[in-house]
Amino acid sequence: MRGQEARDQVERKAAMATLAQSTGDDIVRLWNEAGLPSEAELLRGPETGLVTVRGRIGGGGAPFNVGEATVTRATVRLASGQVGHCYTLGRDKQKARLAAIADALWQDPALRPEVETRIIAPLQAALASARERRRAETAATKVDFFTMVRGED
């Protein structure tokens, strides 16, 4: 049971990460295609605020404050009682609300597969291919050093 709970947490966090990384437009489009309920009681937000971003001295040392970033958050409750949360960079309130509903739906074992296949998986695939393209474009600028052989020996 403990193991299952831990796995659930890892998967839930991964789904939240996918939603946070994706654009609001992509989420809305998939949501409409999936026909998932977009109504829920708003318990908090959607509201925009700040987080202070921390780095580490020298990259791996003690933390320090670099600057701030806008974040929008929402907490919703479904009629079934599930509570969902979202925190995401930027000021897109519609995105925060839908992502919180997605998080709530995800926690319902009956609805989880649908949320995973209709929303999370396509978003995840789009993010992965964008990331892969970025990496391949950067890799094309990698320097290949040639050693010049001088003289004979």
Partner 1 sequence: MDIATQAIEGGFADPVFNAQTVFRAVMDAMARPGTLQPLPAFARPPAPLSATAGAIALALCDNDTPLWLDPVLQAPAAVKSWLGFHTGAPLANTPADAHFALIATPAEMMALDGFSQGTQDYPDRSTTLILQVGDLVSGAPLLLEGPGIERTASIAPAQMPRHFVEQWKQNNQRFPRGVDIVLATPDGVTCLPRTTRIKTMEA
Partner 2 sequence: MYVAVKGGEAAIANAHSLLADRRRGDRSVPALRLDQIVEQLALGVDRVMSEGSLYDRELAALAIVQARGDMIEAIFLVRAYRTTLPRFGYTNAIDTGAMLVERRVSATYKDLPGGQLLGPTFDYTHRLLDPELATGGDIAEPLQRASEAEAMPRVSAILAREGLIEPDGDMPQDHVPGDITREPLEFPMTRDIRLQALSRGDEGFLLALGYSTQRGYARNHPFVGEVRIGEVELELDVPELPFPVPLGSVRVTECQMVNQFKGSAKAPPQFTRGYGLVFGQSERKAMAMALCDRALRATEFGEDVVAAAQDEEFVISHSDNVQATGFVEHLKLPHYVDFQAELDLVRRMRAEHDARENSGKAEEKREAAE
Residues that bind partner 1 (CB under 8 A): 43-44, 47, 75, 77, 81, 83
CB of 4 to partner 1, least distance (A): 18
The answer to whether residue 1 forms part of the interface with partner 2 (CB under 8 A) is: no
- Contact 41/104 with Cβ under 8 angstroms? no
Our CB check for partner 1 shows the closer of 75 and 88 to be: 75
Going by the DSSP 8-state scheme, the letter that residue 92 receives in this structure is -
Find out whether 32 and 50 touch, Cβ atoms under 8 Å. Answer: no
Which option in partner 1, partner 2, none does residue 105 bind, with CB closer than 5 to 8 A by kind? none
| Count of alpha carbons within 13 angstroms of residue 21, beta-carbon side | 18
Of 43 and 53, which CB lies nearer to partner 1 in the complex structure? 43
**Would you call 11 exposed, middle or buried from its count of C-beta atoms within 10 A (0-12, 13-18, 19+)?**
middle
Residue 104 near residue 74 (C-beta atoms within 8 A): no
From the list partner 2, partner 1, none, pick the one residue 43 interacts with, judged by a Cβ distance below 5 to 8 Å according to partner type: partner 1
Q: Which residues bind partner 2 (CB under 8 A)?
A: 9, 12-13, 16-17, 20-21, 47-71, 73, 75, 85, 87-91, 131, 133-143, 145
